[in-house]
Structure formats: structure tokens, C-alpha cells
Structure 1
Amino acid sequence: MANAHKRRKQPEVVRRNLLDHAARIAAESGITAVTVQAVSAAAGVTKGGFTHHFPSKQALMDALFQELLNDIGTALAERVQVDPEPHGAFTRAYLNVVVNRDSDEKLNTWASLAVLMLNDPDLRKTWADWFLLRLDQYRETDIDLAIVRLATDGLWLSDISGVPLPDREQLCTRLVQLTLPRGR
């Protein structure tokens, strides 16, 4: 332990490591496998090191959920910014981000966090507040497109539950068409 005092402290690296390992464990084994012990061991830190960054598993899950919202928010903003058609840009971005995730690992992490959200009233409120803020931000261009966003959520639920959609690509194309102004 004498070396522990000589080791250079890197709190942001340790915090990031804990979050990454928690996400990986959630993706591979589900939320119930995300324990203080499992995440600490995977990240190579003591339980004390864990609690230095996150006072509880709930604090870790809250941070992981907030990080997911930040990632989604960034991806949405990038897509809205480059969309040449303002009408429906947010909804098209939402459809694109939700149904075209980068990897199965990210899908599994989203699925695990979604299940966590459904069981946690505070996270449900966090999601609702976050989403309502974006709907308010884009109300001039996207207010009448709730049906497309709800269908997008249904696609995502189908993906995470493993229910195949035979005409998934065609459905996505049709949903995009519904976001465009009439006559386009």
C-alpha cells in the first residue's frame, strides 16, 4: 500500500473507468449485475475508490443515465444542424438516432437503462423533463409529429425485445416521409 500514496491520482480517469465498466456490465449481463463490487472489481478500484466517485449504485446509475441523455442530445443536435429541411428535423434526428445505433453493445446499454428508467420514478422524470425540453425547443417544426416519435419508440422497443420486423427498412422510410412537408 505504500505505493498507493506515490501513485498519481487521476480522478477523472477513474470515474470514466467506473462508468465505462458499469455500462459494459449492464450491456452484457443486465442492470442487476451492476453492483458496487462488480464495477469496482472490473475497474480495478476498491469499494472505497468507488464510493469516492459515486456514493451509491444509484448515484452511478443516475450518472450513467445522464451520460446517455447527453450522448443522445449531442447526436440529435448534430443531425438537426445538418438537416437541410427544418420541418421535422428533430423528429427525423430522433428516428435516426434511436433506430440506427452504432452497435449491439450500445443497444444493450440503452435497453438496460430504459428498463432501469421504467422502474425508477426519478429517472422517468429526468427523461420526461429532458424530452419535453427538446419538444418545446422544436415545437414550431415538430409539434405535429408525435405519431412518428411514438412509432420510433415502438421500433426501439421491438429492437430491444428481439421482435423482428419484416419490413423494418420500409417502415423507417415511411416514417421519414411523414416528417417532411406535404408535397415533398
Structure 2
Amino acid sequence: MRRTDMANPYHRQKQPEAVRRALLEQAARLAVERGVAAVTVQAVADAAGVTKGGLMHHFPSKQALIEAVFQDLLDDLKNSLYESMRADPTPHGSFTRAYVIEIFDMDPGARGGLWSALSVLMLSDPKLRVMWAKWIGLWLKAGRKTDDGLDLAIIRLAADGVWLSDLSGVPLSSRAQLRDQLIKATYLES
């Protein structure tokens, strides 16, 4: 009878989705703890307990891995936005309210820390900028009936300013009041 040993990759059962998830989580953890520069193919493979070849099977390059982590964050954000919007009884401004809430609720030390790391990278990485532009463009297109208009665009841009402030470590006085004021403004129809 053959012994199955999880510590021995040659005898363990293949679980490609679990391996892929572990690689994404370890890449994200390294980016938060040590910065995006620490996200190397070898470091992520070691942290996930797979070979470098195992990582390359899922992600053919560091760039592909970073893009997958970024897409994973976009998917998480999408799910959070959908939850907020579904719970919102007022259609007008529902996306903008959900967006403001997400930005203000990001914890720079936790998952928001990963957003911070990837946001800096996004500024210099054209592929990540395109991913973000397509993602936000789809949301804005889908929200034309509920979130179109200059007033709501200004509110979203103000939220982006808060994100940039958090990213650069600039403390905001009256943060809670600013959040409440922006959310209140989303209910006003122009």
C-alpha cells in the first residue's frame, strides 16, 4: 500500500486550485509585509511550499503573478461593492456610496496594505493601469442610470483622494466627518 504524505510533493494528491490560491495569498502577504519588490518567484514558491516550477505552472512570470494578485483584489472589491449595493434601498448613487464606504473602510495594515502596495505599482505598470481602467469603466458603464453625473463623479474622485492620502501616509483630520459628508452628498440628485 502506498503512503500519501502531504510533505512529499511526489506523493500528494494534486489540488491545482488550492495551490493557485496559496500562491496568490503568499504573494499578497509578501507584498504587504515587505513590499512588492519582495514578491519574487522563488520567495512566493518557498512561502507556498511549492517548487519554482510548480509556481511557473500557474503563473509563467512574476508579472503574471502580480497581475493575478491585482485581479484577485479587484474581484474582492467587486464582491464587496455588490453586497453594499444590494443592501442599499436607494438606487440613486448606490455605486458611489459603496465605493466611498470601501475606500474609507480599507485598513492600510491589512488587505488595504496590499491595495497600497499594488497602487504604487499600478502608477508605473501600464498593464495594471489598463486593468484598473477597464474595471472601473465597466462599473461606471453599468451605473449610468444610478451613478451618472458630475456630482457623483466628484464624490468618487474625493474618495480617490482619500485613498491617495492613505497611500502616502498623510493623516486626515475629521476622517469620519468627511466620510459621512461624502455619503450624505450621494443622496442629493442634481
% identity of equivalent residues: 55
Deviation at 1:6, TM superposition (A): 2.2
**Contact conserved, 1:40 with 1:47, CA < 8 A, in 2?**
yes
Q: Is 2:103 aligned against 1:76?
A: no
Deviation at 1:113, TM superposition (A): 1.1
2:99 aligned to 94, 100, 121, which one?
94
- 1:42 paired residue number: 47
User: 1:109 is aligned with what amino acid?
Assistant: L
* Structure with greater helix percent: 1
1:148 aligned to 142, 145, 155, which one?
155
Q: Within 2, Cα distance between the matches of 1:21 and 1:32?
A: 14
**Contact conserved, 1:26 with 1:33, CA < 8 A, in 2?**
yes
| Runs of 4+ residues deviating >6 angstroms | none
Normalising by structure 2, we get a TM-score of 0.91
* Cα displacement string for residues 104-129 of structure 1 (whole angstroms, at most 9, x for unaligned residues): 22111001111121111111111111
Q: Which runs of 5+ in 2 are unaligned?
A: 1-7
**Contact conserved, 2:94 with 2:147, CA < 8 A, in 1?**
yes
Deviation at 1:58, TM superposition (A): 0.6
CA RMSD of aligned residues (A): 1.5
- 2:185 paired residue number: 178
Q: Which runs of 5+ in 1 are unaligned?
A: none
1:120 aligned to 125, 132, 144, which one?
125
1:139 aligned to 125, 133, 144, which one?
144
* Cα displacement string for residues 104-162 of structure 1 (whole angstroms, at most 9, x for unaligned residues): 22111001111121111111111111101110111122112110000001111111221
Q: Within 2, Cα distance between the matches of 1:90 and 1:102?
A: 20
Q: Is 2:168 aligned against 1:161?
A: yes
**Contact conserved, 2:116 with 2:167, CA < 8 A, in 1?**
yes
**Contact conserved, 2:108 with 2:166, CA < 8 A, in 1?**
no
